Amino acid sequence: MTFQNIETLSWIGDRHGWLRMIDQTLLPTELREIDCRQVETVWEAIKKLRVRGAPAIGIAAAYGVCVGLQTLPQEVDFNVFRTRLNEVVDYLASSRPTAVNLFWALNRMKAKAESFYDSKNISEIRDALFSEAKMIHEEDRRICRAIGKFGQELVRDGDTFLTHCNAGGLATADYGTALAVFFAATEMGKKISVYADETRPLLQGSRLTAWELMQRGIDVTLICDSMAATVMKQGKINGVVVGADRIAANGDTANKIGTYSVAIAARTHRVPFYVAAPVSTFDLTLTDGNSIPIEERDAEEICNGFGKQTAPQGVKVYNPAFDITPAELITGIITEHGIISPVKRENIAKIVQL
């Protein structure tokens, strides 16, 4: 089949334009784009998972800075501009706590502005920020392709892989991190199959990953999260590839809740378990995964998912959005600079600092 690429995120117009994105909460039944002309709309889109996936969140935040500065007149006092920039960055940073790419992109935007502060030329700073946001966007396209290139080397013709959550084009600027491995392998002529966990409670696997793989013509089988260990035991899985939202200096990895369970099952059944992520997802300031902040989301996602009550009124709910997979359970981390294996602190430092 012919795949028609639909960009998850795009900027419309010049620096005075706006951010357009796919509203991922409506997939797979409706493909609709929304326009973000105010920073509040960008914040809401990140918070409510209209845009999700660590790289895509970072790109949206970078463009969100440009949108947020549009409330100021073209001619404005430098101190007023700097105050507004700081407000916008802090506001966007409050949207979600776990994906490090959000803070990485915002810090990069702030640093770019600060590099022009001596001139106090507001127009020049605005241009620089817009260029930086576009650069972050374009860099991620190249990163996705590089991750796919290295990752497909791990795939043999006829292999069947399992993945959890969604780490495809919808989560990035191009064709993903984890799913980039499958897309690149297919482009190399390899015939592969994929099992996709549904990924409770928001069903990113069934709503998004299965949709993306079908769009690309890749053989995909959807399973409930609780079936992953069984299909491994039955010998159906040759490897697991997942994405990541933050990786500590020792390789401990935060990803969508349920990933840790998949990693344990993979170790038990001697199935290789890989993480695919750009180096921007590494947070070398954190010694290990114990320091990674874990977002807890509303109980409604479990008790009234997609508008249907599925639990007793008033029941207590624990709803962490992510879990931590220890480095010792990870066979390798696929980055745009190569594959880190074994996953050890010194090997990570070498790759991340390239």
Torsional sign, CA 204, 5, 143, 193: positive
SS3 content of the chain, % helix, strand, coil (to 5): 45, 15, 40
Tell me the one-letter amino acid at 30: E
**Concatenated DSSP letters of 154-174:** GPPTT-EEEE-S--SGGGSSS
Q: For residue 324, list its beta bridge partners.
A: 254
Cα(49)–Cα(211) distance, rounded to whole angstroms? 17
Burial string for 81-95 (b: 16+ CB within 10 Å, else e) reads bbeebeebbebbbeb
Total Cβ atoms within 10 A of residue 27: 18
Cβ pair 231, 187 in contact under 8 A: no
Cα(121)–Cα(118) distance, rounded to whole angstroms? 8
Residues 6 or more apart from 132 whose CB is under 8 A from it? 62, 108, 109, 112
Cα(333)–Cα(253) distance, rounded to whole angstroms? 10
Residue among 174, 225, 245, 323 flagged as catalytic: 245
Cα(87)–Cα(49) distance, rounded to whole angstroms? 22
Q: Look up 245 and say whether it is catalytic.
A: yes
Cα(174)–Cα(136) distance, rounded to whole angstroms? 12
Tell me the one-letter amino acid at 174: D
Q: Are strands 322-325 and 273-276 parallel, antiparallel or unpaired?
A: unpaired
- Structure token digits, residue 73: 């007149």
Q: For residue 322, list its beta bridge partners.
A: 256
Cα(239)–Cα(194) distance, rounded to whole angstroms? 10
- Structure token digits, residue 110: 């702030």
Give catalytic residue positions. 245
